[in-house]
């Protein structure tokens, strides 16, 4: 019974609508009606605060990708879609969850997560874009408003923790139970059941976004259809996600009918999509030997580009297994053949870095940074090489040159903390370690770091004031979090 309730409450704006009983008519599906019921919504600033807190809560419970290349790719695809949406200036943040389950969801403040399992299930870049466009549409069409309104009656930390716990309810019954208690204690009716109209609108708007951003509208029904067909092979052991979020025949039919209204054309995948899928297969793979077999089996299959991607994947697998000579050989050959492909060049530099060949790695990264100055994934790795070679001041300058979007990544604060540590500025180092722990949803550790910073010698008035303000803020956040439990 508890699990059923959790699934009904799940704050997961997934790709598929809930499954009706076999005897029910599909028109009776009760998905969330999230229109503005009273006109009294939380402010945009509060929504952004809730979104940030929600993301921190997720970071504390699930493995969110920190790899700069993966993050740069998913953010670039998301922004390409957002640019042609109804809210091109809305501050969306896209991220990848390193989980093999097939899932995608949107949270408050435009935080959109996509599981690595879903990305690896797609067979075309437009299929991935179709899922992301659908989630963007849920946000731009205000389908989240009623949830935001309900959350607005709670403190930001309480609401964020509750939303994250509900999202993870099917994976962690304990967290899900905590979410139920929070809802009951606050006398909050918190339910996100998209109406069929919401889902149809998200499909329709998402398909328009796909077309305007030069992705294939037909990818949406194609992906739905493949997932529906995959359920046939599970028998009675259908995964929980596919049982509760099936792809119905009517949804496939509706989306295909809309897709057929667009002119047919070819939409080739970007090389970036193929390379990121190879990297995620290594990052999310449980058994490197199985991952190796996967790439080895494809070295002589497909197009020349696909074979090259398999070679790259094999190199990443060798690097993950610390088979440095093999990785070095593979990446040297790739760079020789494709000198302008940043992923191959960065992989070669990363191989040198992981072999503790710091001077060589730095030289490679400096060259890449000069050739591709706008590539922030390269900047992150360049900063690491600077720290390894004792050039902390250069690392600090490079960190402050990163975009505001990079500041949403916990690794940004971790690198800042390490940088100031090497600059022998312990107060600043502890200060940024505090921000790192806070970004990871570990507020008590953040409090410890601030207190350590306050004990540092030579504090000036400005920094002392910042530390006092952050300590009070973290203490209040921790108090509210304790009250929520």
Q: What is the pLDDT averaged over residues 228-245?
A: 54
pLDDT value at position 138?
86
Q: Which of 445, 447, 440, 442 is nearest to 473 (CA)?
A: 447
Q: Using CA atoms, how far apart are residues 398 and 419, in angstroms rounded to an integer?
A: 11
> Cα separation of 395 and 385, whole Å?
9
Tokens of 128: 């991935």
Maximum separation of any 2 CA atoms in the chain, in Å: 73
Q: What is the mean pLDDT of residues 380-397?
A: 96
What percent of the chain is predicted at pLDDT more than 70? 77
Give the pLDDT score at 15: 40
pLDDT at 45: 85
Q: How many domains, in total, are found in the chain?
A: 1
Segment 397-422 mean pLDDT: 94
Give the C-alpha separation, 402 to 448, whole Å: 27
Q: In terms of residue numbers, what domain contains 13?
A: 2-259
Residues 6+ away with beta carbon under 8 Å from 194: 13, 17, 31, 32, 33, 34, 138, 143, 202
List, by residue number, the catalytic residues: 135, 203
Q: Does residue 154 register a pLDDT over 70?
A: no
pLDDT for residue 298 is more than 60: yes
Of all residues in the chain, what percent carry a pLDDT higher than 90? 60
Q: What is the pLDDT of residues 66-112, one digit of tens each?
A: 999 999 999 999 999 999 999 999 999 999 999 988 888 888 889 99
Looking at every residue in the chain, the average pLDDT score rounds to 83
Q: Give me the pLDDT at residue 144, please.
A: 67
Across 87-91, 194-198, 354-358, 359-363, least confident range: 194-198
Q: Is the pLDDT of residue 175 over 90?
A: no
| 4-39 pLDDT tens trace | 333 322 334 344 333 333 333 322 223 233 334 434
One DSSP character per residue, 96-137 reads EE--SS--EEE-GGGEEEEEHHHHHH-SSHHHHHHHHHHHHH
pTM of the model as a whole: 0.85
Q: Is residue 127 included in any domain, yes or no?
A: yes
What pLDDT sits at residue 60? 87
Confirm whether 466 is domain-assigned.
no
Mean pLDDT of 208-228: 91
Could you tell me the CA-to-CA distances from 228 to 16, 115, 247, 252, 475 in Å, in that order?
11, 18, 5, 9, 48
Give start and end residues of each alpha helix (H) in 122-217. Answer: 125-140, 145-151, 156-167, 173-185, 196-212
40-67 pLDDT tens trace = 466 788 888 888 988 998 998 889 999 9
- Domain presence at residue 9: yes
Q: Is residue 291 part of a domain?
A: no
Average pLDDT over residues 138-153: 68
The mean per-residue pLDDT over the stretch 214-233 comes to 84
Strand partners, 93: 111
User: Is 195 within the bounds of a domain?
Assistant: yes
pLDDT confidence band for 210 (50 / 70 / 90): very high
Task: Round to the nearest angstrom and report the end-to-end CA distance of the chain.
Answer: 22
Residue 130 in any domain: the answer is yes
Compute the average pLDDT of residues 213-227.
Answer: 91
- Chain length of the chain: 485
Is 206 a member of any domain?
yes
Residues 425-479: tens digit of each pLDDT: 999 999 999 999 999 999 999 999 999 999 999 899 999 999 999 999 999 988 8
Average pLDDT (260-283) is 95
pLDDT at 39: 41
Per-residue confidence band for 195, with pLDDT thresholds at 50, 70 and 90: low
Determine the pLDDT at residue 20: 33
| Per-residue confidence (pLDDT) for residue 246, from 0 to 100 | 53
Q: What is the pLDDT of residue 163?
A: 66
Residue 151 lies in a domain: yes
Asked if residue 332 has pLDDT above 60, the reply is yes
- Residue 255, judged by CB atoms within 10 A of its CB (0-12, 13-18, 19+), counts as buried
């Amino acid at each position: 019974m508890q699990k059923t309730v959790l699934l009904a409450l799940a704050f997961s704006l997934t790709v598929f609508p809930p499954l009706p009983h076999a005897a029910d008519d599909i028109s009776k599906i009760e998905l969330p009606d999230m229109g503005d019921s009273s006109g009294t919504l939380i402010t945009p600033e509060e929504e952004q605060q809730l979104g940030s807190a929600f993301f921190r809560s997720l970071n504390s419970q699930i493995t969110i990708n920190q790899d700069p290349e993966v993050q740069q790719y998913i953010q670039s695809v998301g922004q390409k879609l957002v640019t042609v949406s109804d809210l091109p200036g809305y501050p969306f943040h896209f991220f990848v969850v390193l989980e093999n389950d097939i899932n995608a969801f949107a949270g408050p403040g435009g935080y959109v997560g996509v599981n690595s399992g879903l990305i690896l299930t797609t067979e075309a870049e437009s299929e991935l874009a179709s899922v992301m466009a659908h989630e963007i549409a849920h946000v731009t069409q205000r389908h989240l408003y009623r949830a935001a309104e309900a959350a607005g009656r709670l403190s930001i930390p309480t609401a964020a923790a509750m939303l994250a716990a509900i999202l993870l309810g099917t994976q962690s019954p304990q967290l899900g139970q905590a979410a139920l208690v929070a809802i009951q204690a606050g006398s909050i009716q918190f339910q996100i059941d998209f109406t069929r109209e919401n889902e149809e609108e998200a499909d329709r708007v998402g398909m328009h976004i796909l077309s305007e951003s030069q992705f294939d509208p037909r990818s949406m029904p194609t992906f739905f259809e493949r997932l529906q067909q995959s359920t046939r092979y599970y028998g009675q052991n259908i995964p929980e996600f596919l049982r509760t979020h099936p792809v119905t025949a009517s949804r496939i039919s509706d989306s295909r009918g809309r897709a057929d209204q667009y002119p047919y054309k070819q939409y080739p995948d970007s090389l970036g999509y193929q390379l990121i899928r190879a990297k995620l297969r290594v990052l999310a793979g449980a058994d490197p030997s199985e991952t190796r077999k996967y790439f080895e089996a494809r070295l002589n299959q497909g197009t020349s580009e696909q074979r090259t991607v398999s070679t790259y994947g094999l190199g990443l697998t060798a690097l993950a297994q610390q088979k440095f000579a093999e990785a070095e050989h593979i990446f040297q050959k790739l760079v020789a053949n494709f000198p302008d492909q940043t992923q191959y060049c960065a992989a070669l530099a990363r191989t040198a870095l992981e072999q503790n060949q710091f001077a060589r790695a730095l030289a490679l990264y400096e060259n890449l940074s000069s050739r591709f100055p706008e590539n922030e994934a390269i900047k992150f790795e360049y900063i690491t090489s600077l720290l390894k070679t004792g050039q902390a001041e250069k690392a600090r300058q490079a960190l402050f040159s990163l975009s505001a979007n990079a500041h949403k990544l916990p690794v940004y604060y971790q690198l800042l903390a390490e940088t100031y540590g090497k600059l022998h500025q312990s107060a600043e180092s502890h200060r940024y370690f505090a921000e790192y722990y806070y970004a990871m949803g570990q507020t008590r550790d953040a409090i410890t770091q601030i207190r350590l910073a306050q004990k540092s010698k030579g504090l000036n008035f400005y920094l002392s004031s910042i530390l006092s303000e952050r300590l009070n803020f973290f203490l209040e956040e921790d108090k509210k979090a304790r009250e929520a439990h």
